[in-house]
Amino acid sequence: MNLRSVDLNLLVVLDALLEERHVTRAGKRLGLSQPAASNALERLRAMFGDPLLERTREGLRPTPRAESLRPALRDALESASRLVARARPELATIVQTVRWSVVDYGLPIFVPPLLASLRAQAPGIDLVVSPWSGAEDALAAVNDGALDLAVSVHAPGASELRWHRLFDERYVVAMRADHPARRRFTLERWLALPHVVVSGRGQASGALDAALAARGLSRRVGLVVPSFLAVPAIVAGSDLVALVPERVLPAVACPGVVAREPPLAVAGFEVGLGWHPRRDGDLATMHVAQEIVRIARAAIRAPGRSRRA
């Protein structure tokens, strides 16, 4: 017989029918309605050319042909179960590399607890964190398969991806605690100060500039760096200031740096976790994703707010 013409799910139904010797009970055991279970029995009878179950005064009874099938049927189902178990390995036995990307200030937030979790639960999973060059590039890499996951701002390229919101981020101004502008921090004085801009592409404009342009204003950009991790040390030793996501300063502890509310409101953003649906069945990638979500929830409960001026 050509197996392509056989519905192997019927073997599971046959096993339940022979165990229960009752169509309705077998159906309930498998989550099938009584009509569906009866239909499956009729198809099994046609498949094997035998009634399989006969009605007696005591109820349904397996035919001699059905009884002869039981040992081979049980062996086939047990073999199928073992095959599926091998196809779905235990988390602790997986040896795999998961590639992901996260804006650099997320590294101290996510990586240490993620490594600790993997060491305990999935020691064979290794991580590769790709350099951050912006949300669009990161999510495009996930879409193309170059990355498995991205912790990112939502971007147009994310429409094809699964998306899980992690937390909302807001902006603060980072400056040294004894900065001369700290006590009289007006909009005019803020814009006159040299600003640090963070850009993985070397761009001298960011989230603030669009808000300023709408008011016919601009700022002085004194330094462009590729990493948020460098900002606290830079502002701690200079008169430069920086508009940064609020979680930057707690992530990079730097004495003598304080956070001020910006004199001009700047819209925050949502940080989420993106992955392609093709990874839904990848146990290693989905475990890392679940741990990232867990770590983000813990960070929200204990955000470790930066010191306010």
| Residues ≥6 apart with Cβ < 8 Å to 254 | 232, 233, 236
Q: Are strands 269-275 and 149-153 parallel, antiparallel or unpaired?
A: antiparallel
In this prediction, residue 87 carries a pLDDT of 61
d(CA 72, CA 65): 12
Average pLDDT of every residue of the chain = 89
In this prediction, residue 158 carries a pLDDT of 67
In this prediction, residue 286 carries a pLDDT of 96
In this prediction, residue 155 carries a pLDDT of 77
Q: Model confidence over 72-117: pLDDT tens digits?
A: 998 888 888 777 666 667 889 999 999 999 999 999 999 999 999 9
Type of residue found at 45: R
Closest CA to 51 of 66, 37, 40: 66
Q: Model confidence over 232-289: pLDDT tens digits?
A: 999 999 999 999 999 999 888 888 999 999 999 888 999 999 999 999 989 999 999 9
Q: How far is CA 206 from the centre of its chain?
A: 27
Higher pLDDT among residues 52 and 57, named by residue: 52
DSSP the chain: --GGGS-THHHHHHHHHHHH--HHHHHHHHT--HHHHHHHHHHHHHHHTS--EEEETTEEEE-HHHHHHHHHHHHHHHHHHHHHHHHS--GGG--EEEEEEE-GGGHHHHHHHHHHHHHHH-TTEEEEEEPP--HHHHHHHHHHTS-SEEEEE--GGGGGSEEEEEEEE-EEEEEETT-TTSSS--HHHHHHSEEEEE-TT--S--HHHHHHHTTT---EEEEEES-GGGHHHHHHTSS-EEEEETTHHHHS--TTEEEE--SS----EEEEEEE-GGGTT-HHHHHHHHHHHHHHHHHHHS--PPPB-
205 pLDDT above the threshold of 70: yes
In this prediction, residue 291 carries a pLDDT of 97
152 pLDDT above the threshold of 80: yes
Higher pLDDT among residues 35 and 80, named by residue: 35
Which of 82-86, 185-189, 202-206 is least confident?
A: 82-86
> Please, which pLDDT band fits residue 303 given cuts at 50, 70 and 90?
very low
19 pLDDT above the threshold of 50: yes
> Tokens standing for 184?
């009289």
207 pLDDT above the threshold of 80: no
